[in-house]
């Protein structure tokens, strides 16, 4: 009998990846593999493939009572459509579900339209008298009353004078008081016929017959057909399969449809599962169209316990139109419990995507935020470890995939990314640059071993990659890294690559999944700058302040969107010496940012400002600025910030972000979105000691004549400077030294910019300059070999006091004064010094620029030093 079921309503097509890496089975699976349908020892006599492939007629007996007629609108034609018509009908359900292996026809009878399969009778008693009968007596009464209109002997196919369940299906339907003609509700059941006389010489006693109310929904009739025609000997509505299997609860006040699951179809011979014998990814097509499922078992355990996996998909016009959820369904089976009457025995249980697998109205869909779990590693029904698992379930779709883990060696790599549009890990890289892709890798073997991560298959010409190897314990997971480099002339496009994990003791065992690498051309220059004016840096905590519009500019100002062009850089003071700075439209593309002390007339101190963090919140870039006095104590201070992105251009550019702070020895490739070199060569960092780093960027275009800026990326005080810049002939080599407030070496992350023959923003369309001092710092000159300006001008420099310098340009400033500009200063060279800009003035006299620089020693006193400065300004108005 069916029980009530409350329907629950709750997709990126996966490109096929059906290959399974592995040439041999993982362990000693028998040959041939077991037949899990066990047709020679069925759970019930009729519950086996031969009966399930036997077509037969259906005889429908419908009747009312002396005090309750049958609803007139549900006549023979209506019932004929319900049982024998096109979708949706009882016949069509089983023709489709069996993939054409079985069919049903209209039974021969002489009621109404002869041989339409429907007999209309009056049961000749009141409803109360009918209700007083046992269910079996009702079935006997129904077949007896219909006998004058039916020759039961025509159904005796084998001539034994016994109407067996495989010869004809009989349904006895009754009217009910609540059925107004359009009502859908009520139960159905399968009951034996009570002992009684032979009918047309045929024995009907004990045969199974459908009994249902006139208002019953169709799926309940389908469910009872499963009992009556195909010998399902027990109900499963007490088990957590509702909404995913016809054998579950079906009674409801509406029409809905759900397919028969793989466990039942296997036993009926309508679908044969693929028995998994080695670890790997498997493609799982839609269940109701393919009949494809997968079976996982442990040969050492035996064939009574196993998992079955199928892909369910809610598709209108099919018999899975109302399946409870989209995605993978995992059935856990214990064949020994088939006849156990206790619901807690769970001979078949749906293992749902939640920590205890109890969420049985949900399918495994990694893209569903409500069910993010992806690994089903639960035990067998009796609590013992299963030795098999379904891992890394992917997003629901017409075809989905998962990694099946069975006894034996294996290695899994995971490419799923819930946050990408196609649910695959994506990476963006500028042509000629290297991108790092980190992917989870797992040893799915039962023993420790080496697992390698790489790329599989041929690549486009010029592409290169390197991977990693890890020693992993049994079932251990780690994060592996792929370094992928497209050639500099790669066509901008999305490239689909196959990441591959390999079990190195037996390389035939492994797995692959696809990632997308998007190659882009070097973008045009994007940059911006801003600084505090007056007492903006003392703003109340939490108050958003627009940094002075006349002292900021960015490439977003020339955007065609007037709303974007009207935006300004803003600041929120978040604490003493801490500021959250939002730079519009600077987060849409990668790049680096820098911060330093700003204009502070009259405040003489070895103060410094740096970046505690930089976050891209598309489209904006968020800078967390941290300022400290000379002793390293947080202090509210004026500051200046600037940021720029990777860009094309005739002159070289290097941008880098370094985050590792430990380790010595071999150079570590810098591979992250912020690291870029216009020469397309690798960028490497070697930590030489505490606070000392050597940066190498391959490329002969570098000649060490450019501007270098290094900014600490740390919320504790630090000062970094370029200690050396060298052209090796094949690469640019920059020495970086970082110090804490006590002037001792300090390990810290940092950002770095190097530009040569162009402004620090690498934008040749806008006037800019940089300059570096040389000679005796007590009487310095401008190093013309390491200075540049868009006007060709070399500035003058004068030392006005120890550690104080006056630098002047005559023709670089903005002729219209506003929007004004920015000057950034850094100490350079081997001496442990720090330098900052005290002020700059480009507004008193158009085109002229005056910069006051102060430098300090370890005692935080003004001291002579070498320095570099960079000058940025807005484009000249036209």
Quote the pLDDT of residue 20. Answer: 34
- The span from the CA of 384 to the CA of 702, in Å, is 64
Quote the pLDDT of residue 665. Answer: 42
Question: Are 346 and 358 in contact, with CB atoms under 8 Å apart?
Answer: no
Cβ neighbour number for residue 446 with a 10 Å cutoff: 16
Quote the pLDDT of residue 421. Answer: 86
User: Between the CA of residue 319 and those of 215, 258, 736, what are the distances in Å?
Assistant: 20, 5, 68
Quote the pLDDT of residue 58. Answer: 98
| pTM of the entire predicted model | 0.76
- The span from the CA of 786 to the CA of 331, in Å, is 71
- The span from the CA of 110 to the CA of 118, in Å, is 9
Main-chain dihedrals φ then ψ at residue 371, nearest 5 degrees? -135, 70
Which residues does the chain have with pLDDT short of 70? 1-27, 236-240, 343, 601-604, 661-667, 878
Dihedral over Cα of 367, 373, 376, 377: its sign: positive
Instruction: Assign 528 to helix, strand or coil.
Output: strand
Q: Find the helix packing angle between 76-84 and 90-97, rounded to 10°.
A: 10
Instruction: Assign 265 to helix, strand or coil.
Output: helix
| Half-sphere exposure for 407 (CA within 13 Å, toward CB) | 13
Q: Render pLDDT for 787-819 as a digit per residue (tens, 0 to 9).
A: 999 999 999 999 999 999 999 999 999 888 788
Question: For residue 267, what are its two tokens?
Answer: 């036993």
Question: Are 190 and 227 in contact, with CB atoms under 8 Å apart?
Answer: yes
Nearest to 717 by CA among 742, 690, 735: 742
- The span from the CA of 378 to the CA of 357, in Å, is 8
Nearest to 743 by CA among 693, 691, 778: 691
Beta bridge partners of 640: 531, 596
Element (H, E) at 712: strand 707-712
Question: For residue 162, what are its two tokens?
Answer: 């016994």
Element (H, E) at 264: helix 262-268
Nearest to 206 by CA among 236, 232, 228: 228
Cis geometry, peptide bond prior to residue 594 (ω within 30 degrees of 0): no
Cβ neighbour number for residue 677 with a 10 Å cutoff: 27
Question: Are 872 and 642 in contact, with CB atoms under 8 Å apart?
Answer: yes
Residues 6+ apart with CB under 8 A from 843: 817, 818, 820
Question: Are 411 and 509 in contact, with CB atoms under 8 Å apart?
Answer: yes
Q: What is the DSSP string of 329-357?
A: EEEEEEGGGTT---GGG-SEEE--SSTTS
Question: For residue 530, what are its two tokens?
Answer: 């801003």
State the chain's maximal CA–CA distance in angstroms. Answer: 127
Nearest to 190 by CA among 214, 209, 168: 209
- The span from the CA of 375 to the CA of 388, in Å, is 11
Question: For residue 3, what are its two tokens?
Answer: 């029980």
- The span from the CA of 277 to the CA of 762, in Å, is 58
DSSP 488: T
Q: Render pLDDT for 295-338 as a digit per residue (tens, 0 to 9).
A: 999 999 999 999 999 999 999 999 999 999 999 999 999 999 98
Main-chain dihedrals φ then ψ at residue 49, nearest 5 degrees? -60, -35
Question: Are 433 and 412 in contact, with CB atoms under 8 Å apart?
Answer: no
Nearest to 172 by CA among 198, 201, 136, 129: 136
Nearest to 593 by CA among 540, 669, 529: 529
- The span from the CA of 499 to the CA of 490, in Å, is 20
Question: Are 306 and 334 in contact, with CB atoms under 8 Å apart?
Answer: no
| Half-sphere exposure for 19 (CA within 13 Å, toward CB) | 14
- The span from the CA of 646 to the CA of 657, in Å, is 13
Quote the pLDDT of residue 649. Answer: 79
Beta bridge partners of 824: 870
Residues 6+ apart with CB under 8 A from 836: 596, 597, 606, 607, 608, 825, 853, 854, 855
Angle in degrees, CA 219, 147, 200, rounded to 5: 115
Q: What is the DSSP string of 429-450?
A: EETT--EEEEEEEEE-SSS-EE
Q: Find the helix packing angle between 90-97 and 218-228, rounded to 10°.
A: 60
| Cβ burial 260-295 (10 Å sphere, 16+ → b, else e) | bbbbbbbbbbbbbbebbbbbbbbbbbbbbeebbbbb
Element (H, E) at 82: helix 76-84
Quote the pLDDT of residue 664. Answer: 40
Beta bridge partners of 648: none
Cβ neighbour number for residue 538 with a 10 Å cutoff: 11
- The span from the CA of 758 to the CA of 761, in Å, is 8
Element (H, E) at 227: helix 218-228
Instruction: Assign 548 to helix, strand or coil.
Output: coil
Question: Are 824 and 640 in contact, with CB atoms under 8 Å apart?
Answer: yes
Pairing of strands 544-546, 280-285: unpaired
DSSP 549: G
- The span from the CA of 441 to the CA of 452, in Å, is 9
Residues 6+ apart with CB under 8 A from 535: none
């Amino acid at each position: 009998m069916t029980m009530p079921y409350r329907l629950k309503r709750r997709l990126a097509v996966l490109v096929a990846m059906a290959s399974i890496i592995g040439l041999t089975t993982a362990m000693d699976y028998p040959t041939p593999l077991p037949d899990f349908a066990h047709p020679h020892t069925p759970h019930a006599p009729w519950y086996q493939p031969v009966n399930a492939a036997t077509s037969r007629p259906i005889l429908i007996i419908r009747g009312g009572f002396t005090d309750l007629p049958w609803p007139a609108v549900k006549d023979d034609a209506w019932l004929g459509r319900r049982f024998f018509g096109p979708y949706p009908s009882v016949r069509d359900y089983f023709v489709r579900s069996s993939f054409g292996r079985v069919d049903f026809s209209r039974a021969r009878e002489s009621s109404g339209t002869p041989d339409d399969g429907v007999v209309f009778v009056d049961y000749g008693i009141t409803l109360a008298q009918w209700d007083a009968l046992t269910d079996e007596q009702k079935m006997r009464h129904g077949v007896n009353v219909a006998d004058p209109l039916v020759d039961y002997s025509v159904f005796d196919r084998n001539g034994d004078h016994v109407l067996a369940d495989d010869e004809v299906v009989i349904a006895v339907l009754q009217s009910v008081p609540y059925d107004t003609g359009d009502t859908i509700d009520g139960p159905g059941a399968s009951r034996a016929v009570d002992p009684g006389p032979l009918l047309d010489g045929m024995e009907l006693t004990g045969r199974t017959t459908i009994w249902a109310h006139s208002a019953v929904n169709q799926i309940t009739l389908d469910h009872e057909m499963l009992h009556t025609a195909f010998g399902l000997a027990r109900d499963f509505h007490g088990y957590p399969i509702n909404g995913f299997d016809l054998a579950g609860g079906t009674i409801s006040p509406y029409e809905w449809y759900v397919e028969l699951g793989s466990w039942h179809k296997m036993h009926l011979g309508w679908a044969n599962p693929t028995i998994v014998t080695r670890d790997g990814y498997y493609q799982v097509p839609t269940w109701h169209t393919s009949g494809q499922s997968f079976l996982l078992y442990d040969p050492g355990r035996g064939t009574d316990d196993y998992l079955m996996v199928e892909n369910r998909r809610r598709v209108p016009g099919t018999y899975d139109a109302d399946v409870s959820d989209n995605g993978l369904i995992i059935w856990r089976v214990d064949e020994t419990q088939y006849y156990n009457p206790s619901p807690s025995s769970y001979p078949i249980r749906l293992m749902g995507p939640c920590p205890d697998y109890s969420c049985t109205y949900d399918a495994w869909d990694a893209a569903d935020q409500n069910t993010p779990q992806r690994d089903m590693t639960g035990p067998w029904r009796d609590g013992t470890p299963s030795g098999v698992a379904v891992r890394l379930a992917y997003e629901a779709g017409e075809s989905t995939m998962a990694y099946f883990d069975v006894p034996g060696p294996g290695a899994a790599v995971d490419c799923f990314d819930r946050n990408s549009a196609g649910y695959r890990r994506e990476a963006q890289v500028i042509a000629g640059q290297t991108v790092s892709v980190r992917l989870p890798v797992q040893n799915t073997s039962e023993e420790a071993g080496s697992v390698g991560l790489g790329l599989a298959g041929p690549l486009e010409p010029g592409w290169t990659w390197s991977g990693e190897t890890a020693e992993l314990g049994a079932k251990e997971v780690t994060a592996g890294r792929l370094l992928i480099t497209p050639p500099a002339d790669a066509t901008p496009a999305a490239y689909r690559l196959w990441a591959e994990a390999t079990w190195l003791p037996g390389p035939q065992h492994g797995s692959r999944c696809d990632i997308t690498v998007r190659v882009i051309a070097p973008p045009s220059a994007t940059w911006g700058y801003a600084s505090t004016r007056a007492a903006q840096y003392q703003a109340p905590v939490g108050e958003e302040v627009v940094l002075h519009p006349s002292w900021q500019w960015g490439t977003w100002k020339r955007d065609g969107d007037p709303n974007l062009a009207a935006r300004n850089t803003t600041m929120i003071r978040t604490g003493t010496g801490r500021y959250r700075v939002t730079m519009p439209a600077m987060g849409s593309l990668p790049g680096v940012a820098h911060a330093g002390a700003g204009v502070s007339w009259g405040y003489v101190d070895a103060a410094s400002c740096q970046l505690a963090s930089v976050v891209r919140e598309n489209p904006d870039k968020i800078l967390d600025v941290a300022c400290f006095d000379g002793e390293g104590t947080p202090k509210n201070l004026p500051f200046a910030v600037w940021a720029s992105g990777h860009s094309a251009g005739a002159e070289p550019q290097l941008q880098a972000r370094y985050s590792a702070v430990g380790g010595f020895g071999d150079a570590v490739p810098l591979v992250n979105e912020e690291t870029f070199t216009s020469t397309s060569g690798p960028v490497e960092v070697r930590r030489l000691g505490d606070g000392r780093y050597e940066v190498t960027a391959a490329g002969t275009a570098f000649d060490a004549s450019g501007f270098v800026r290094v900014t600490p990326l740390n919320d504790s005080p630090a000062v970094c400077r370029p200690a050396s810049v060298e052209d090796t002939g094949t690469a640019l080599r920059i020495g970086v030294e970082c110090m804490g407030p006590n002037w001792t070496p300090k390990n810290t992350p940092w950002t770095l910019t190097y530009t040569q023959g162009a402004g620090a923003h690498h934008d040749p369309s806008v006037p800019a300059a940089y300059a570096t001092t040389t000679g005796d710092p007590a009487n310095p000159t401008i190093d013309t070999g390491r200075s540049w300006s868009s006007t060709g001008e070399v500035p003058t420099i004068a030392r006005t006091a120890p550690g104080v310098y006056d630098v002047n340009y005559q023709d670089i400033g903005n002729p219209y004064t506003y929007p004004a500009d920015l000057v950034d200063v850094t100490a350079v060279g081997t001496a442990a010094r720090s330098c900052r800009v005290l002020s700059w003035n480009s507004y008193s006299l158009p085109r002229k620029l005056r910069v006051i620089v102060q430098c300090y020693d370890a005692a935080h006193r003004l001291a002579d030093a070498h320095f570099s400065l960079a000058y940025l300004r807005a484009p000249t108005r036209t």
